[in-house]
Amino acid sequence: MRLAEAYGRFGETNEDDRYAIMRWLFWDNPRLSGYMAVYCYLRAFTPAPDEDVLGFLRKRIDDCLSVAE
């Protein structure tokens, strides 16, 4: 939001836009990004990630993406 204010791009043009941006930020952070970050870390940096854990995380990611769609 600070970048949008500083550069005049990707920010709100009215109060409804501001609400939509805040809603997306608060939805994305604890849901999609949290699961995606752990999933990517496990796949990239662990020598033998647990397939059950990856499957669980992947299901959560897919569920979040379907909501975003």
Mean pLDDT is lowest, of 28-32, 46-50, 55-59, for 28-32
Answer yes or no: is pLDDT of 50 > 90. Answer: yes
pLDDT for position 17: 87
Query: The domain containing residue 21 runs over which residues?
Result: 2-68
Helix (H) or strand (E) holding 27: helix 15-28
3-39 pLDDT tens trace:
888 888 888 888 898 888 888 777 777 778 889 999 9
- How far apart CA 19 and CA 55 sit, in angstroms, is 34
Q: How many domains does the chain have?
A: 1
